[in-house]
Structure 1
Amino acid sequence: MGDAKALLILHGKQALNEEVREGVRQQRERGWELAVRVTWEAGDARRLVLEALDAGYPTLIAGGGDGTLREVAEALLLSRADARLALLPLGSANDFARAAGIPLEPLEALALLNEPARPVDVGEMNGQPFVNMATGGFGSKVTASTSEELKRMLGGGAYLLTGLSRFAEIQSARGHFRGPGFEWQGEFLALGIGNGRQAGGGQLLCPQATINDGLLDVCIVPAPADTVGTLGTLLSGGLLGVEAVSVSARVAWLEVEAPESININLDGEPFSGEHLRFDVRPGALRMHLPANSPLLRRPENGG
């Protein structure tokens, strides 16, 4: 097991997590050389990735939520190293992990290190990478304004509660969307550009997305007369609810032009702009995922 060597980059808030400690201990008993480094401040994840690569670690583990996964993935992409990536989901919502079928229990998640790493796509917005999803509009505002304390108490349900409490602040945005074989313009309440399927604590904005098809799934929720009813359908989740109120497409790239800056959330990181270009980098990362992960597209012949 000469390749059974990994470094866990652990979000600082999880440093005293006893389940993580026990999971690491048992993974070591299974024969893995597993080192742990803890983040303290902004920029630590990138520094730790570079240090791990210099030390010869072939596998890196992002221990945290979607934001931590994005940070570690971004550092890996910038390094252009061929290291593998795994996720130990420790966030409040764990949207990517839930959609990918990654266990939330630390020991079970670490067991995926024994699964072969598979090529997965990475999305980009104006050159900024995201592994899971880019969201915009009111849904993005809800994600950004939900307090850490509420997320700790309610998990993904915190986003729904925040959204319900802020109906009075609902404002639509306007944009012109264009991609291969797709064009739409108008006012919208929410936007999802999915490499993964869900964001904001379980909002299935792109329920059919896969992360190895070389494409991005687009979900636009237009601003109708019944704004409150439409947003309630969106926030309550569910495949049929989203499909009933949204415009959808699957594209290799998407350009968005807006008269005013649109707020965008990339896996928890806020950005904004009037001119947005979304692209996909096929197979840019190799990730340890369950063999039957719903996010993996199967070959057409079933082989």
Structure 2
Amino acid sequence: MSARVGVVWNPAKAERGELEVALAEVHTGPARWYETTEDDPGQAACRRALDDGADLVLACGGDGTIRAVTEHLAATDSAAEMGIVPLGTGNLLARNLDVPLADLPAAIARALEGTARPIDVGWLEADLDGGTERHAFAVMAGFGIDAHMITETDEDLKEKAGWLAYVESLGRAVSASEVIGLRLALDGGAAEAHQAHTLIVGNCGSLQGGLTLLPDADPADGRLDLLVLHEGGVSGWLDTLRNMAWDNGLKRLLRRDDEVTAESTDATTLGRLTRARVELDEPRVVEVDGDDLGETTRIEISIQPSAVRIR
């Protein structure tokens, strides 16, 4: 029996007609369409699709749309499966799951015909200006270089140059990410003090341009991977990025076992966890899958294993 397809799409990323043509190449059955808006990046659209009986939700858009659909499916513990049609700049989850990036019919075919696999979803809770908020992430969350590269990226350049715009923003991101004091507790353990400019918790390991920041991260292993960067300044970050992403891209930087670990050097702390609590001495911008949430001094992170089934 063919799936009941609900298409959640971001009209800022693609025209509906373009998607309809691509869908028709690989799908002869009916599909219902649910447009995202500025006020609803995808959660409400996904809910409407499920209410109408969709058992396959195609998320068509950038990282924000993909995250929003993932969040609603995970929050409702829905049995519906998800397909990804990447239309954004970063396309982070699509890259990590090897979804075709530049071929709409191929991405849609993968979503319609591929075998669903469960993936974990991370949850971040933070005290923001509007109160305490809780958001899901499928790829990475945190503060520092990662977050500032999002907030400092020139939008016009992003439209013209794609992910390369993030490289252009690196210098400004480094200057905006000063070393601060923080306390980090993993899986209910005692808090440890750190001086750092960046903290990233990842469900997946790859970024744009083939950079592998967390080479052992597995979106289906029931754990999240941790990276804390202590180095300050451009040279320290570039040295760390080179060592982590290029020199060690194929090495195992984190131990693979059930023990909670946090292995430290002068430049980095690496760990694996199911829960984390972070308290910051000063407010910092926090992000989830490329979405800037605003500034906070408290972050709590947890994992929902096998939260969403993605084709």
**TM-score for the superposition, normalised by structure 1:** 0.84
Distance in 2 between the 1:182 and 1:32 partners? 55
CA contact (8 A) 1:46 1:71 kept: yes
Say yes or no: does 1:54 pair with 2:51. Answer: yes
Distance in 2 between the 1:256 and 1:170 partners? 17
CA contact (8 A) 1:64 1:89 kept: yes
Q: Moved runs in structure 1, 4+ residues, more than 6 A? A: 241-244
Match runs of 1:23-62 below 5 Å: 23-28=22-27, 31-43=28-40, 45-62=42-59
Distance in 1 between the 2:177 and 2:284 partners? 14
Distance in 1 between the 2:146 and 2:118 partners? 30
Match runs of 1:136-155 below 5 Å: 136-155=143-162
Q: For 2:42, what is the secondary structure of its paired residue?
A: helix
Q: Quick one: which of 235, 239, 244 aligns to 1:229? A: 235
Q: Quick one: which of 104, 107, 124 aligns to 1:106? A: 104
Say yes or no: does 1:211 pair with 2:219. Answer: yes
Distance in 1 between the 2:164 and 2:190 partners? 33
Distance in 2 between the 1:240 and 1:184 partners? 29
Q: Quick one: which of 270, 281, 285 aligns to 1:263? A: 285
Distance in 2 between the 1:184 and 1:158 partners? 35
Shifted more, 55-64 versus 167-176: the winner is: 167-176
Cα offsets for 1:217-265 (capped at 9, x unmatched): 00111134xx211222456672436869532111111111222223210
Change (3 A) 1:246 1:23: farther
Cα offsets for 1:20-79 (capped at 9, x unmatched): 343212122xx3433333223212622221221121110101111221111112222333
Change (3 A) 1:200 1:62: same
Distance in 2 between the 1:138 and 1:72 partners? 26
Distance in 1 between the 2:115 and 2:40 partners? 29
Cα offsets for 1:145-195 (capped at 9, x unmatched): 213221121211111111135554442232122214796532222221001
CA contact (8 A) 2:74 2:121 kept: no
Distance in 1 between the 2:153 and 2:67 partners? 19
Q: Quick one: which of 259, 267, 276 aligns to 2:299? A: 276
Give the count of matched residue pairs: 283
Distance in 2 between the 1:207 and 1:58 partners? 33
Whichever residue aligns with residue 196 of structure 2, its letter is: F
Distance in 2 between the 1:233 and 1:195 partners? 24
Distance in 1 between the 2:202 and 2:166 partners? 18
Q: Quick one: which of 76, 87, 90 aligns to 2:87? A: 90
Q: Which runs of 5+ in 1 are unaligned?
A: 289-303
Distance in 2 between the 1:182 and 1:63 partners? 42
- In structure 2, the partner of 1:293 is none
Distance in 1 between the 2:96 and 2:119 partners? 14
How high is the sequence identity, in percent, across the aligned residues?
25
- In structure 2, the partner of 1:123 is 122
**TM-score for the superposition, normalised by structure 2:** 0.82
CA contact (8 A) 1:264 1:270 kept: yes
Distance in 2 between the 1:150 and 1:139 partners? 18
Change (3 A) 1:119 1:168: closer
Change (3 A) 1:130 1:44: closer
